[in-house]
C-alpha cells in the first residue's frame, strides 16, 4: 500500500477529491449532478485536446497550436455550412480534415524537417488563426450555423454526448499509450530519442503520428465547440492550448517526455472544471481562478518532485 505514493496520478486525484469536498461544503448547489454534468460538458473540448497533448508531450514534444487549429476547424465548418449547400456530416468531416491537415503539417515539419516543435507550432498557431480570420471575412467575428446544424447543436448542448466522446477518446488514448507498441515507442522516444532510434524505432513516423492525431482531435474539438455554441466563432479555442497543457502537466505527465498519463490529464481537466464551477458558484472573480491555476501548476510540479523523492527514499530504505 505504501506503493501508492509511486502512482503519478496521485497528486491530481487528491486535488480533484480535495476540490470536490471543499466546494461541496462551501459552494451552494455544487453537488447538483445535472449542474456538474453541464460544467464538465463545457470542458469536454479541453479534455479531447489534452489527450492528444499527452501523447505529444510524452514523446518529448509540444504543440501550442491546438487552440488555433480548433478555431480553424470551427470556422471552416461554419463557412462551408453557410456558404454552400453541403450536408452537416460533410461539413463536420471537412472540419476534422482541416484539423488533420494542420496536425500533419506540424508533424512533417517536426519529423522530416527536424524543426523544433515549439517553433513550428508557434508559427502554425499564428497561421491557423490568421487563416481562420481571413476565411471568416472582413469584420466577421462569428458565423451563425444554419438550421440544418440544429441536430449537432442539440447533441452537443443538451446531451451527455460530448462528455461520452471525450471519455471514449481518453480511453482510446490510455489504451494506446499503455498497451500498444505505439505507446511504448512514443514513451521511448520521449525518454531518450537517440536510444529509441538506435533500437530500431522509426522516430520520424512516430512523431508525425502524434502531431497528426492531435490535429484530428483538434478538428473534432472544433466541431464540438461549434455545436455547443451554435455558432462558429473566429476566436474559438483562443487560449485553449495553455489551459490544456496546464491540465496535462498538473495531471502528472512530464514535460521532458518519457512519462505520460492520459488518466492524469483527464483528471487535470476535471480539476479545472471543478475549480471553474466552484469559484463560479461562490461568486469569486475569474481572476482569482487564473491565479489559483498558476499556483496549482507550480505546486503540482513541486509536489511531484517531492513525491518522487519520497518514493525513491522508500525504495532505498526497502533495499537497505
Q: Which is nearer to another protein, 6 or 200 (CB)?
A: 6
**Dihedral sign computed on CA atoms, order 94, 95, 98, 100:** negative
In angstroms, rounded to a whole number, what is the distance separating the alpha carbons of residues 125 and 128? 6
In angstroms, rounded to a whole number, what is the distance separating the alpha carbons of residues 262 and 55? 8
In angstroms, rounded to a whole number, what is the distance separating the alpha carbons of residues 44 and 38? 10
Q: Which is nearer to another protein, 192 or 230 (CB)?
A: 230
- Output the nine-digit C-alpha cell for 11: 497528486
Q: Are 185 and 53 in contact (CB under 8 A)?
A: no
User: Please, what is the minimum distance in Å from the beta carbon of residue 8 to another protein?
Assistant: 9
Q: Which is nearer to another protein, 172 or 291 (CB)?
A: 291
Q: Which is nearer to another protein, 134 or 198 (CB)?
A: 134
- Residue 257 burial class via C-beta count within 10 angstroms: exposed 0-12, middle 13-18, buried 19 and up: buried
User: Please, what is the minimum distance in Å from the beta carbon of residue 133 to another protein?
Assistant: 4
Pairing state between β 231-233 and 142-144: antiparallel
User: Please, what is the minimum distance in Å from the beta carbon of residue 273 to another protein?
Assistant: 9
User: Please, what is the minimum distance in Å from the beta carbon of residue 251 to another protein?
Assistant: 10
Q: CA 184 from chain center: how many Å?
A: 20
Q: Which is nearer to another protein, 89 or 130 (CB)?
A: 130
User: Please, what is the minimum distance in Å from the beta carbon of residue 183 to another protein?
Assistant: 16
Amino acid at each position: 500500500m505504501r506503493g501508492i505514493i509511486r502512482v503519478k496520478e496521485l497528486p491530481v486525484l487528491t486535488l480533484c477529491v480535495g476540490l470536490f469536498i471543499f466546494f461541496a461544503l462551501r459552494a451552494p448547489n455544487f453537488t447538483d449532478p445535472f449542474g456538474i454534468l453541464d460544467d464538465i460538458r463545457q470542458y469536454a473540448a479541453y479534455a479531447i485536446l489534452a489527450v492528444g497533448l499527452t501523447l505529444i508531450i510524452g514523446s518529448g514534444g509540444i504543440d501550442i497550436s491546438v487552440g488555433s487549429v480548433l478555431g480553424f476547424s470551427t470556422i471552416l465548418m461554419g463557412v462551408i455550412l453557410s456558404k454552400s449547400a453541403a450536408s452537416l456530416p460533410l461539413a463536420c468531416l471537412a472540419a476534422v480534415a482541416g484539423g488533420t491537415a494542420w496536425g500533419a503539417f506540424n508533424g512533417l515539419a517536426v519529423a522530416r524537417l527536424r524543426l523544433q516543435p515549439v517553433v513550428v507550432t508557434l508559427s502554425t498557431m499564428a497561421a491557423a488563426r490568421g487563416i481562420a480570420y481571413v476565411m471568416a471575412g472582413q469584420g466577421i467575428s462569428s458565423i451563425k450555423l444554419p438550421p440544418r446544424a440544429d441536430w449537432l447543436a442539440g447533441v452537443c448542448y443538451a446531451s451527455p454526448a460530448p462528455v461520452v466522446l471525450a471519455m471514449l477518446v481518453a480511453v482510446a488514448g490510455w489504451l494506446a499509450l499503455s498497451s500498444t507498441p505505439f505507446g511504448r515507442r512514443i514513451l521511448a522516444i520521449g525518454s531518450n530519442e537517440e536510444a529509441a532510434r538506435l533500437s530500431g524505432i522509426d522516430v520520424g513516423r512516430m512523431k508525425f503520428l502524434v502531431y497528426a492525431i492531435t490535429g484530428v482531435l483538434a478538428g473534432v474539438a472544433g466541431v464540438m465547440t461549434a455545436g455547443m455554441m451554435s455558432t462558429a466563432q473566429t476566436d474559438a479555442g483562443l487560449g485553449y492550448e495553455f489551459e490544456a497543457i496546464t491540465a496535462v502537466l498538473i495531471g502528472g505527465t512530464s514535460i521532458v517526455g518519457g512519462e505520460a498519463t492520459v488518466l492524469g490529464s483527464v483528471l487535470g481537466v476535471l480539476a479545472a472544471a471543478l475549480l471553474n464551477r466552484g469559484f463560479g458558484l461562490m461568486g469569486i472573480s475569474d481572476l482569482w481562478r487564473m491565479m489559483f491555476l498558476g499556483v496549482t501548476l507550480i505546486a503540482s510540479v513541486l509536489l511531484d518532485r517531492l513525491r518522487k523523492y519520497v518514493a525513491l527514499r522508500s525504495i532505498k530504505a526497502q533495499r537497505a
